Amino acid sequence: MKKRISSTILSLIIIIFPIIAQNKIIVSDNLEITKLSDNVYLHKSFLVIENYGKIGANGLLLVEDGKALMIDSPWNDNQTEELYNWLKDSLNTTITTFIPTHWHEDCMGGLGYLQTKGVSSYTNLMTIDIAKEKNLPIPQHGFDHSLFLDFHGIPVECTYLGGGHSTDNIVVWLPFENILFGGCCIKDINSTNLGNLSDADVEAWPSTMRKMIDKFPNAKIVVPGHGPTGGTELMRHTLQLLEK
């Protein structure tokens, strides 16, 4: 009987594993893509950083009618070009809109390349000001507290809730699928600390997280800037780390 049960479990694993594996596409050593739904893809890019090793950074792609809205770019122009070409060749899709959630390279390191392709960019006005100060590529369109976009019939909501990992970090809400991109303001469930705080607003961060928890209680998928996705427990976990 035990052998029969073990054999059944093994068969289920063999059947299920390819289905899971099919959702993740390895584009290169430094870029992979995971399909979250019919319209949404998670892109993860990797960069070797001194004292930290190889770090993966998350971003999203919202795809509709052969067009894509990108939330956070890969680390640099080369990786962003690679992702741009993959979308064009594999999904017959072109990136037309870009939303960086703050000014760090793991969010808008590919903006320079996207600008050569005529991609429209939207972000916090604070991010634009910082980009100007640091001589970085400058996003085109800015907003103060919130911005609502209609991307080919799909609503996209950008919100500034306060400082956190950086003073300018925003979150992006996709209400049609209850997906929240929290970016680096949210830590993954395995994080035991807050990470790089060199540009953080640690005093404001707890208040920002409480606002986020209150505003998005029904989020089914929460995407942190780094690490695996989760649910609303990621927001609560981040707040717990802050309260330590």
Convert the pLDDT of each residue in 67-80 to its tens digit. 999 999 999 999 99
56 is a domain residue:
yes
Q: How far apart are CA 178 and CA 232, in angstroms?
A: 11
Is there a catalytic annotation at residue 106? yes
Alpha carbon of residue 189 to chain centroid: 15
Into how many domains does the chain fold? Answer: 1
Question: Does residue 53 lie in a domain region?
Answer: yes
Diameter of the chain measured on Cα atoms: 70
pLDDT of residue 138: 98
Q: Is residue 216 part of a domain?
A: yes
The identity of residue 7, as a single letter, is: S
10 within a domain of the structure (yes/no): no
Instruction: Identify which of 200, 201, 169, 190 has the alpha carbon closest to the alpha carbon of residue 241.
Output: 190
| pLDDT at residue number 51 | 80
Contact 194, 154 (CB under 8 A): no
Q: Which helix (H) or strand (E) holds 37?
A: none
Say if 13 falls within a structural domain: no
- The verdict on residue 15 lying in a domain is no
Model confidence band, residue 173 (pLDDT cutoffs 50, 70, 90) = very high
Residue showing tokens 């992006």: 172
- Decide if pLDDT at 7 tops 80: no
Nearest residue to 119 via CA among 68, 173, 44, 189: 68
The percent of residues in the chain predicted with pLDDT above 90, rounded, is 87
Annotated active-site residue in 39, 102, 168, 188: 102
Quote the mean pLDDT of the chain. 92
In a domain, 1, yes or no: no
| 97 part of a folded domain | yes
Annotation marks residue 184 as catalytic: yes
For residue 181, give its domain range: 27-243
Choice among 184, 185, 188, 237 that is catalytic = 184
Choice among 30, 43, 58, 106 that is catalytic: 106
Q: What is the pLDDT of residues 112-136, one digit of tens each?
A: 999 999 999 999 999 999 999 999 9
CATH of residue 96 = 3.60.15.10
